[in-house]
Structures are given as C-alpha cells and as structure tokens.
Structure 1
Amino acid sequence: MLPVGCTSDHRPSPDRPRWQPRPGTPWQWQLNGRADPAAADVPVYDIDGFENSAADVARLHRDGRKVICYVNAGAWEDFRPDHADFPAGVRGRPNGWDGERWLDIRRLDVLRPLLEKRFDMCRDKGFDAVEPDLMDAYLNDTGFPLTAAHQLAYNRMIARIAHDRGLAVGLKNDLPQIPQLVRDFDFAVNEECAQYDECARLTPFIEADKAVFHVEYALSTPEFCDEARRLGLSSMRKRLELDRWRQPC
C-alpha cells in the first residue's frame, strides 16, 4: 500500500493544508466497534469517533492511512456519552435506529457548541477528517418543519466547524443539495446511489477532484461496479451493520 504522508505529529491544525482525498481512493468503513486495522489494505479508514481512541487512530496512521471520524450530526443518540447535553426540545421523532431521534437543525445556537465539542474530540484524537451523518433531515419526517434552506445553513455550519479545526469534512448523502454544497465539503459519502439510480448526481464532486466514498448494501458488485468505476467513485459492498467485512469493486 502506498503511504499517504502521515507524520509523527498528526494532530490537524488550521495552519496546515487539509487532507483532500481524490476520486477513486480505496477505503474501509467500519462503524461497529473498534477498527480492525487488518481488515483491509486500503489508504483510508472511516471509523466511529467515540468507539475508537487516539491510540487506535495512531495505529492506523503508523500503517500509512488517513482516518475519518464518524459522528452523528443529525440525530440524538441515547447511547453516546454526551447524550444528556442535548436538550429535550431539540429531540424530534425517532429515525428508525434504536435510541436515535432527529435533531431540530434550526437550533444552530444550541447544536453548534455540542458539535464543536464532538469535532474537538475528533481533532484531539488525531483524525484527519469527519463524516457527519444524517445531513438530509429536511427530506425526512423529523417532527420539525425543516426546509432545504435550514439544511443548507446547518450543513455549511458543520463544514466551517470542521475546517476551523483543520479537519476535512464529507457531505453524507443529501444529493439534492450537492450543487450548492460541493465547494463547502472536501469529499462525499453516499449510501445506495446505485440502488436508486442516482450515482450520476455525485459527479460534481468527481469533477472537483474530490473523492466520493460509496457503498451499496442490497446490490451485488456486478450490479453496480461498472458504473461506479466509470463515474470515478470509491465503491464497495457492505453489510448494514458496517462491520469489518467489505467487498470492493
């Protein structure tokens, strides 16, 4: 595997150039528990920010990898150590995952300091980038009257929080707003664009020389890999539990 420029002092800083993943970069996505560094010989790991320590991140860096910090930015999770910091008034309807409720993304005054603490955690553990999840609340039944304008303001706030800490940041799904947000984000993370025949909508990131990290769950690799390679996506098949298993294109 080619090294990706890690150094012994790997804490991100706004004074240093941010990491910019390029189209076609292979990756591993493991959110179930601590990262398994032997699971995949790839230059990028996307792992849970709470479940993994600074030592886990450092080990991946020693192997020549860049590391993305997964945090939930769109839903409250009752199993996170900071769950009590989120006031009841910003918690909406359940989102279909155990212990999670949509957040009222209109409340930037409440949510910004909470997300800043989470992104501080990512920076302090030495992560290179952040994958904020659930960036398309306005497309869902959240219990709040959210609009596309609310989502744009929220997503741009998230990008600024990351960049202020020297972290790259990915746009998770939210395909309709890619034209407005591609300049604000350093890469994209997408689930199931092939299943819903939407992968071409991610081309603004590829055209901007920014990676699109893409997974499918239900489709087999022969059903989506040809198109993924043609579009320049970094694609693989994963199980819904996002464990160590992967089947890359």
Structure 2
Amino acid sequence: MGRTRRGAAAAALVLLMAAACAGEDAEADGRSMSPVSRGSADDPAAAPSDHPSSEGEHTPELPPASGAFDYQLGGAYTPSGPIDVVVRDATAEPLKGAYNVCYVNGFQTQPGDAAMWKEHADLLLHDAHGDLVTDPDWDDEYILDPSGSTQRDDILEILAPVITGCAAAGYDAVEIDNLDTFDRFDRIDENGAMALASAYVDLAHESGLAIAQKNAAEITATAHEELGFDFAVAEECGAYDECAAYTGVYGARVLQIEYPDSLEDAGMTFADVCTLPDRAPLTILRDRDLVAQGADGYRYESC
C-alpha cells in the first residue's frame, strides 16, 4: 500500500537520540506529562476495554468518533475552520483545542537521520549480502530490525524519548508508522516485530497516551486484541477495499485518509468513498505530500 511523505523530523530526532545514548533525561525541560483521562466509561468505544491501564496510570482518551479531522504530516498549520482531531509530526506543537495525535516512525528511520542510525547499524536490517536495506518507495529510510530482544531494547531506548516527548508536549495519542515492515521484508522476524509493537503500546499507555495502529489491515484483530492498540489510522482503505478490516475491529475509532492518485488508480472518486458502508466516520481526502494549507498542491476534502 502506498504511504504518505512524512514530516521532516531529522533535527529533533537527532537530538533525542543523542540524549538517549548519553543517558540524559528526555523530560529535562521540566514539562510535565499531559494526563489524558477524559474518556467516558459509559461509552464502550471510548475505553481501551481489553487492555486496562496498570495501577496508577491514566486511562488514555480515544479520539472522537465525529467532527472534523485533519492529517498534517507534511507541515503543521492552523486550519481555516474548527478541527476536532489532528495528526501532526512529533516535531510539531499540538493544535490547541483539538485531540492531537503525534506521528512517530517506529519501524523505519526518518529521512535525514541516516548518519545517526548508521552508528547503530546492528539495529538496521541487512540483506543477504550484508548491505543495509532501504524502503524501495523511500530510499532515504532504513528499515529497523527488531528480530532480536537486544535489538528491540536498543531501538526502544532510542525512540522512547520521542514517544514520551509527545506526551510531555501535550499530545493525546501517538501513531506508530510502518508496523507492516515484517510483511514487506521477509528477513524481519514477525514475532520480534510484534514484541516491539507491544513495547510501544506499553510505553504509550504508561505515558498517558492512546496509541493508533497505522495501516497493516491484515493484523488488525491481533493489533487490537492482543497487542493493545486503541484505535486505527488507515490510509487508502477505501481505494484498497480494506475499510471493514479496521471499522470491524475499532468501530468508529478509525481515522481514514484517502489520496487522489490511489483513488484514480482504483477507478474511484472521493464521493464514491463517502458512500462506502464500511468507511470511517472521520474520512478525509488529502494531497499525497500532505502540504500545509496555502502551499502548492494542497488538497483537503471531508465526507
């Protein structure tokens, strides 16, 4: 499935990685964790249900199932109208008054971070010849290899400050991208990938954040029921006829994004998507590069 061009997070991630390697406290700036506990116990869809928080943890609030939604990975901006839910890169500030989801690339490296990650080459996927593997669609992104327990521990040590930093900044939730690398790269052990995903879930919940499954429609039931993901962010499920895989598990707690090129390839229009019986209530059309409002190529529609 095609993926969007993500926000430029290189500078901030380099600083966070350096801090992690030096053993510094990721919360040394004094910002407190944002307690997220506004979910209603009377609404079954608003609670993580099968995965209760540990004693002393806040119950993460899930995104609203109605209202206005925006996906702003290519550049944060203040929308022209009210927004109820927004996804932004981890380097951006949350949008005041909205439910904010923080984007983190949990299974691949971010563009511009190659030099830093190459210092941790043992955490990156190598091919049969010993060469580092890059994403064929994004050749400036290396693939993380969570196959071994030590690898997973070290990956988490590097990326944990990004996730806890989202909480400290005031985000309500986090989405972890590229969960499906084990399916796209056969040298990755699936059990190792699922173990890393579970560790991300635990860390998010410990930080007071809900956590979204990003794509990977084929493992939605496992992701929610066994790993503990709370809701889903689904790209192009209308174009690829996958929406039921998400809404059948997460109900209305799905953030759906479609793109003009994939809809055209599927012989569909966005209006067609809006009539699908299994689409998410919060469904939007965005330009592929997710550029900021006012920039060339910007496009936004909602059902």
Whether TM-score is above 0.5 comes out as yes
Query: Structure 1 vs Structure 2: percent identity of aligned residues?
Result: 26
Distance 1:180 1:69, change over 3 A: same
Q: CA deviation at 1:238?
A: 1.0
Q: 5 Å matches for 1:225-244?
A: 225-227=274-276, 230-244=278-292
Q: 5 Å matches for 1:155-174?
A: 155-174=197-216
Give the 3-state SS of the residue equivalent to 2:191 in structure 1. Answer: helix
Deviation track 1:121-142 (CA, whole Å, cap 9, x = no partner) reads 111211111111111111113x
Say whether the 8 Å CA contact 1:188–1:213 is kept in structure 2.
Answer: yes
Aligned AA (2:223): L
Q: CA deviation at 1:40?
A: 4.6
Distance 1:225 1:78, change over 3 A: closer
Aligned AA (1:94): T
Give the 3-state SS of the residue equivalent to 1:75 in structure 2. Answer: coil
Q: CA deviation at 1:74?
A: 1.0
1: CA distance, partners of 2:111 / 2:250 = 36
Give the 3-state SS of the residue equivalent to 1:36 in structure 2. Answer: coil
Say whether the 8 Å CA contact 2:58–2:208 is kept in structure 1.
Answer: yes
Alignment-derived partner of residue 222 in structure 1:
271
What's the Cα RMSD here? 2.4
157, 167, 173: which one pairs with 1:113?
157
2: CA distance, partners of 1:81 / 1:68 = 25
2: CA distance, partners of 1:187 / 1:239 = 23
Alignment-derived partner of residue 186 in structure 1:
230
Deviates more, 1:89-98 or 1:17-26: 17-26
Q: CA deviation at 1:82?
A: 9.5
Say whether the 8 Å CA contact 1:190–1:213 is kept in structure 2.
Answer: yes
Aligned AA (2:35): P
Length, aligned pairs only: 227
Alignment-derived partner of residue 212 in structure 1:
254
Alignment-derived partner of residue 246 in structure 1:
300
TM-score under structure 2 normalisation? 0.68
Rg larger in 1 or in 2? 2
Alignment-derived partner of residue 59 in structure 2:
17
2: CA distance, partners of 1:78 / 1:224 = 31
Alignment-derived partner of residue 72 in structure 1:
105
1: CA distance, partners of 2:276 / 2:119 = 41
Q: CA deviation at 1:27?
A: 1.2
Q: Does 1:196 align with 2:240?
A: yes
Q: CA deviation at 1:199?
A: 1.2
Q: Which runs of 5+ in 1 are unaligned?
A: 1-8
178, 195, 218: which one pairs with 1:153?
195
TM-score under structure 1 normalisation? 0.81
62, 68, 71: which one pairs with 1:26?
68
Structure 1 runs (4+) deviating above 6 angstroms are none
Say whether the 8 Å CA contact 2:114–2:141 is kept in structure 1.
Answer: no
Q: Does 1:127 align with 2:171?
A: yes
Q: Does 1:87 align with 2:86?
A: no
Aligned AA (1:73): G
Say whether the 8 Å CA contact 1:71–1:118 is kept in structure 2.
Answer: yes
Q: CA deviation at 1:232?
A: 3.7
1: CA distance, partners of 2:279 / 2:286 = 19
Q: CA deviation at 1:49?
A: 0.6
Alignment-derived partner of residue 90 in structure 2:
49
Give the 3-state SS of the residue equivalent to 1:179 in structure 2. Answer: helix
Deviation track 1:93-131 (CA, whole Å, cap 9, x = no partner) reads 111224211110222121111121111211121111111
Alignment-derived partner of residue 41 in structure 2:
none
